[in-house]
């Protein structure tokens, strides 16, 4: 929590504050993802404007959890560079661009902001490596470690006419 009033910023002044951000357990589709054991150190830049407060959060951390293809542990780096704005006197019903959800009175909840930003920055697929071969759908062998001994899947006759076009057969 950062007490913005203690910084005593005048219009045009800026300050940088470093705060630890611990990544909570994130559960997506019943699968848990965590961050490193040590909290990430985030840099929060606060700039007082005549009409409000400009906030910027920057941090680098990693997401740790099972790979979507092979289920081995994956460590995916995540870099955050997020901005928020809080108008000095927002109008009632003000649009979201004028109100910072992480600022309650003079207290900025940087930890929640950081955790939310990390969730939004997570890749759609968590992979142990870009060329992960995954698991064999028949026997479950990890194809990154060795090839499986399953026979190739039987050809689907419904694709025969297209296969004939490609191979030039009649």
CA dist 86 and 11 (Å) reads 14
What pLDDT is recorded for position 85? 80
Give the mean pLDDT of the chain.
83
What pLDDT is recorded for position 151? 87
Residue 4 or residue 48, greater confidence:
48
Identify the three-state secondary structure at position 85.
strand
Residue 107 or residue 150, greater confidence:
150
According to DSSP, residue 121 is labeled: H
Q: Which residues pair with 165 in a beta bridge?
A: none
Residue 103 or residue 18, greater confidence:
18
The residues spanned by each domain of the chain are 2-132, 133-170
pLDDT band at 21 (very low <50, low <70, confident <90, very high): confident
Residue 170 or residue 111, greater confidence:
111
> Tens of pLDDT along 70-121?
999 999 898 989 888 877 766 666 566 677 677 787 788 888 888 888 888 8
> Tens of pLDDT along 121-134?
888 888 999 999 99
**Segment (H or E) for 123:** none
In the predicted structure, residue 55 carries a pLDDT above the cut 60? yes
Residue 105 or residue 63, greater confidence:
63
Is the CB of residue 44 less than 8 Å from the CB of residue 100? no
In the predicted structure, residue 166 carries a pLDDT above the cut 60? yes
What pLDDT is recorded for position 132? 94
pLDDT band at 7 (very low <50, low <70, confident <90, very high): confident
Positive or negative: CA dihedral 74, 33, 78, 39: negative
């Amino acid at each position: 929590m950062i007490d913005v009033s203690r910084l005593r910023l005048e219009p045009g002044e800026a300050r940088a504050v470093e705060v630890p951000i611990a990544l909570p357990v994130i559960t997506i589709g019943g699968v848990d993802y965590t961050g490193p054991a040590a909290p990430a150190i985030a840099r929060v830049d606060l700039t007082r404007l005549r009409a409000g407060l400009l906030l910027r959060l920057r941090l680098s951390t990693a997401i740790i959890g099972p790979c979507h293809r092979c289920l081995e542990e994956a460590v995916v780096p995540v870099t955050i560079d997020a901005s928020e704005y809080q108008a000095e006197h927002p109008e009632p019903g003000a649009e979201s661009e004028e109100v910072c959800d992480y600022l309650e009175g003079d207290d900025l909840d940087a930890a929640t902001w950081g955790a939310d930003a990390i969730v939004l920055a997570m890749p759609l697929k968590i992979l142990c490596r870009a060329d992960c071969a995954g698991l064999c759908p028949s026997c479950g062998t990890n194809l990154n470690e060795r090839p499986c001994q399953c026979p190739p899947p039987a050809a689907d006759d419904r694709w025969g006419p297209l296969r004939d076009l490609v191979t030039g057969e009649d």
